Structure 1
Amino acid sequence: MTGTSSTVAVVTGAARGFGREIARRLVARGHRVVITDIDAAAVSATAAELGATGLTADARLAADHRRVGAAAAELGTVGVWVNNAGVLRAGKVWEQSDEDIALMIDANLYGVVHGSRVAVGLMRERGGHLLNIASMSAHGPVPGLAVYAASKSAVLNFTTSLQGDLDLDRIPVRAHALCPDAADTALVRAEQGHADTAILHSQKTLLTPETVADAALELLDGKRVVRSLPLRRAVMARTGSVVPRIALPVLARMRAQGERRRVAGS
């Protein structure tokens, strides 16, 4: 990954959580960093804290990505773009509102697609790195989070397919997908009171945003397309996708275990 001070890096959804910590590390490396978020006050405060440029933008809107891309290009050569913005709403699909379902699909999937299009347009001549934040749920079934898992599975498939297209057209942009397990972020804490998030708490401890950000920077430094954190959980999740008849009862037991931890931590 280019690390000169003239290189611009864009991080969406960076007012808090993974995005803020990824942006913090990019600033420390000397990048001119542009962060975006739909929360105007939060993005302004975070930008001031990090020494970044903050822009209010809605990741669901293609026009907002184009506006952010144009603003970033005015600062210099864009060499890094991180599509981090995302939304989690727990619940069974037949109980969820139309609005919550559309919000997750629009933010988690369309936001990545729109952001990637702008990023490739900005970096296709000089090269660069595009990082899409997926999720451990991209690898297999996640009862209680079906729509969220579907959107993140689409992000993973989109990213790997995009890399194939970039390779075929010999465009020097490297696409990456990071698939972290559940982490201690505002995104997860906001839904912790919902019983359908129990599966997120089936691991002994939640990841930290700092751990995920460190993994993100390692991906940006290399050519690896996909990284899952931790790997052992990804192996379990992929097994569930291949043999759901066996995996779903196991997931039910994990959910029961996670429910005890969820209640204890609420």
Structure 2
Amino acid sequence: MTPAQNSAAVVTGAARGFGREIARRLVARGHRVLITDLDADAVTATAAELGVAAVPADARVPADHAKVAAAAAELGPVGVWVNNAGVLRAGRVWEQPEQDVTLQVEVNLLGVVHGSRAAVEAMREHGGHLLNIASMSSHGPVPGLAVYAATKAAVLSFTTSLQGELDLARLPIRAHALCPDAADTALVRDEQASPDSAMLFSQKALLTPTAVADAAVALLDGRRVVRSIPTYRAGAMRVAGALPRLGLPVLARLRAQGDRRRVGGS
């Protein structure tokens, strides 16, 4: 695979949060980084802060991913592609506006699919690493975030299936999925006022973006396909998903706990 100091790295949705911190670490590793975001002003400001290239882009649009891939190739052979762009809307699924449902599916799932296709095309000759940011909600039910959880479960399934396809095609690309628990980002804080966001606050403390970025970049050093942080929460979520009659009552208690923390501002 192409050495870091000679390769370009793409991070989508990188104007803030996980994406910005991941980009910061890729710069430190010697990559020539290109970041994208739908918010043109914010991504330009972040690019100036980090000393990287920026392209305003919409993760929902395949042509935008192609544009990003072409711009990254001008920096060097693409060796890393991180599909980080995502949105979250809390609420009971039957009460959510149609546009919120559609937005989550298009950004969180189709954005990853379109970005992965562009990444594979960019890296198929020389190899590289494709990292998709999934979620702890990939592993089981999350009442109050049903649509979001469904999209992230699909991202996890897509990534593992994609690695199988890459292996069968003998392409030198490693696909990875990172499944972090809720973190202290604008994505989460913007939904804190909604009671349906309670599950996001059910852990003792929100993860930090820096901790998630460290875990994300560490995946690029090996062949591990899936990593969840913290690990113990992933196990509990899988049990809840496999045995919903037992798991859902437990999640209801966790939701009540999370609601107290949500209101308390933790």
TM range (shorter): over 0.9
Aligned to 1:198: 198
Give 2:242's aligned residue: 242
Where do residues 109-258 of structure 1 align in structure 2 (5 Å cutoff)? 109-258=109-258
Identical-residue share of aligned pairs (%): 73
Distance 1:55 1:255, change over 3 A: same
How far residue 125 of structure 1 moved from its aligned partner, in angstroms, is 0.9
Match of 2:63 in 1: 63
Aligned residues of 2:202 and 2:257 also touching (Cα < 8 A): yes
Kept in 1: contact 2:21–2:213 (CA 8 A): yes
Q: How far is the alpha carbon of 1:74 from its aligned partner?
A: 1.2
Q: Spell out, residue by residue over 1:148-175, the C-alpha distance to the aligned partner (whole angstroms, 9 max, x if none).
A: 0000000000000000000001000000
Partner secondary structure for residue 75 of structure 1: coil
* Partners of 1:201 and 1:10 in 2: CA distance: 30
Q: Tell me, yes or no, if the aligned pair for 1:3 and 1:29 is still in contact at 8 Å.
A: no
Q: Distance in 2 between matches of 1:116 and 1:181?
A: 23
SS across alignment from 2:42: helix
- Does structure 2 conserve the Cα–Cα contact (< 8 Å) formed by 1:9 and 1:26? yes
Find out whether 1:104 has 2:104 as its counterpart: yes
Q: Which amino acid aligns with 1:18?
A: F
8 Å Cα contact 1:36/1:56 also seen in 2: yes
Q: What secondary structure sits across from 1:82 in the alignment?
A: strand
Q: Tell me which residue corresponds to 2:7.
A: 7
Alignment RMSD, CA only?
A: 0.9
Query: Shift in Å at residue 5 of structure 1?
Result: 2.3
**What is the CA deviation profile of residues 200-241 of structure 1, one whole-angstrom value per residue up to 9, with x for unaligned ones?**
101110000000000001111110000000000000000011
- The alpha-carbon deviation at position 2 of structure 1 amounts to 4.8
Paired with 2:197 and 2:3, the residues of 1 have a C-alpha distance of: 38
DSSP 3-state at the match of 1:5: helix
Residues 23-76 of structure 1: CA deviation (Å, up to 9, x unaligned)? 000001110000000001100000000011011000011110000001111111
Inter-partner Cα distance in structure 2 for 1:56 and 1:4: 24
Output the amino acid matched with 2:251.
L
Kept in 1: contact 2:2–2:77 (CA 8 A):
no
Equivalence for 1:17: 17
| Partner-residue secondary structure (3-state), 2:4 | coil
CA contact 1:3–1:30 (8 Å) conserved in 2: no
1-structure distance, mates of 2:87, 2:41: 18
* Range with greater deviation from structure 2 (4-13 or 30-39): 4-13
Instruction: Give unpaired runs (5+ residues) of structure 1.
Output: none
Instruction: Give the whole-Å Cα distance in 1 for the aligned partners of 2:187 and 2:39.
Output: 14
Q: Distance between the aligned counterparts of 2:2 and 2:181, measured in 1?
A: 28
Could you state the TM-score of these two structures normalised by the residue count of structure 1? 0.99
Does the CA-based 8 Å contact 1:134-1:179 persist in structure 2?
A: yes
Asked if structure 2 preserves the Cα contact closer than 8 Å seen for 1:176 and 1:225, the reply is yes
1:4 and 1:256 map into 2 onto residues whose CA distance is 46
The structure-2 alpha-carbon separation of the partners of 1:101 and 1:150, relative to structure 1 and needing over 3 Å to count, comes to same
> Which amino acid letter does the alignment assign opposite residue 243 of structure 1?
L
User: Is the Cα–Cα contact under 8 Å of residues 120 and 173 in structure 2 kept in the other structure?
Assistant: yes
Counterpart CA distance in 1 for 2:79 and 2:5 is 11
For 1:237 and 1:64, the matched residues in 2 are separated by 35
Tell me, which stretches of 5 or more residues in structure 2 are unaligned? none
Letter in 2 for 1:224: R
Q: Count residues with an aligned counterpart.
A: 266
